[in-house]
Amino acid sequence: MGMRNGFVSISQKGFDQELLPYQLYQKAKRYGIWNPQDIDFTQDREDYANMNPEQKEETLGRIAGFLGGEEAVTLDLLPLIMVIAEEGRLEEEMFLTTFLFEEAKHTEFFRLVLDNIGESGDLHHFHDDVYKRIFHEILPNALHRLLTDKSPEAIAEASTVYNMFVEGVLAETGYYAFYEALSKTGLMPGLMQGIGYLKTDESRHISYGTFLLQRLICEHRHIYDVIAKKMDELAPMATHLYDWMDDPQGVSAFGVKITDLKQFAKKQLSVRMEVLARAKGQTIEELYKHTRTTIDV
C-alpha cells in the first residue's frame, strides 16, 4: 500500500452516503445502542431455578455455545478491520468499529446472564470437538491469515467463515433454538430480550459480510467458487453441533425437534449462497445500486 493521497472525508465527495456499509453504520448508531446491564434478569433467575435438570443443561449448553462464540468473534475480528482500513475503505471501517463494539457487548451479555442465574462453574465441557474445531481452529486461522495474506481469496474465506457461517448459519440457528425453547413457554424474558437485540445487531453484520463478498465476486468472478467450496466444507459441521443433545433424532428438553434445528441450519446455508450467487453477473456499479434498494436491516 503506497502513501495516502489526501483524505476522503475532506474531499469534495465526502463520505459515500449511499454505500451500504455507511448506511449500516448509521443504523448501528440508531439501533445498536443498548446496554446489557439495563436488562432485568430477576424473572430469569426464578425461571432457571424452577427448570428440571435436563432443561437447565440444555439452556446452559446453548448459553455456553453463544458465550464462547461471541468471545471468539470479538477476539478474531481485528485482522479484517485492519485489511479494510489498509485498503482505505473509510465507510466500511466506520461500520466495522460498531461491529467490534457489538461483539464485545454480546460477550458481556451472555456472561451477565450466567452471573444472574447463579451459574459460576466452568462450562468448557459443553464445547465438543466440532465446536472446538470451528472456534479454536477454523475461525481464528481464517482471520489471522489476513495478517500476512491480504488477497481477495483470503478476505473471502475469512468473511465466509465469520459472516456467512458462524453468524449466518450457527448463530441464526441458535436464536431459532432459543425462541423455540423459551419464547413459546414465556421463560427467561431477560435472556430473550437480549437475544432480540443481538439478532438485530447480527443482521447488520451479516448484511455487511454479504456486501463484502458480493463486492469481491463482482471484482473477481472466481471468488464465488472459493466461497462455495468453503461453505461446502463447513456445512456438515452446522448439523453436527446438535449431536450433544441426548437424542439427536428426537426432541430437546423443551420439546424442540432436533430435526427442525438441522433443517433450519440447512435452509440458512442455502439462503446465504443464493444471495451471493446474484452478484455473479453484476458490475460493481450495479451491485452498489442494487444494495441501496435492498437494504432490509
By percentage, how much of the chain surpasses pLDDT 70?
A: 92
* Distance separating alpha carbons of residues 123 and 268, to the nearest angstrom: 27
Is the pLDDT at 4 greater than 80? The verdict is: no
For residue 265, being part of any structural domain is answered with: yes
For residue 25, being part of any structural domain is answered with: no
Cell of 128: 465438543
State the average pLDDT for the chain.
Answer: 91
CA distances 242 to 76, 189, 239, 245, 256, Å, are 24, 24, 6, 6, 12
Mean pLDDT of 136-159: 98
For residue 187, being part of any structural domain is answered with: yes
Other beta carbons within 10 angstroms of residue 283's beta carbon come to 11
- Number of domains forming the structure of the chain: 1
For residue 16, being part of any structural domain is answered with: no
Q: What is the model's pLDDT at position 1?
A: 46
> pLDDT, tens digit, for every residue of 275-289?
898 888 888 788 777
- Give the DSSP letter of residue 252: -
For residue 107, being part of any structural domain is answered with: yes
The answer to whether residues 268 and 172 touch, using CB atoms and an 8 Å cutoff, is yes
Domain extent, residue 66, equals 39-292
The region of weakest confidence among 14-23, 28-37, 74-83, 92-101 is 14-23
User: How far out from the chain centre does Cα 184 lie?
Assistant: 24
| pLDDT greater at residue 290 or residue 260 | 260
Alpha-carbon torsion angle 188, 45, 103, 276, nearest 10: -20
For 24-28, the CB contacts below 8 A with 24+ separation are: 24/95, 24/98, 24/204, 24/207, 24/208, 24/295, 24/297, 25/91, 25/94, 25/95, 25/98, 27/204, 27/297, 28/95, 28/98, 28/99, 28/102, 28/201, 28/204
* Distance separating alpha carbons of residues 131 and 67, to the nearest angstrom: 12
Mean pLDDT of 72-98: 96
We report the CATH number of the domain holding residue 265 as 1.10.620.20
| pLDDT greater at residue 6 or residue 145 | 145
For residue 10, being part of any structural domain is answered with: no
Other beta carbons within 10 angstroms of residue 154's beta carbon come to 19
Mean pLDDT of 99-114: 97
The answer to whether residues 126 and 69 touch, using CB atoms and an 8 Å cutoff, is no
> pLDDT, tens digit, for every residue of 199-224?
999 999 999 999 999 999 999 999 99
For residue 297, being part of any structural domain is answered with: no
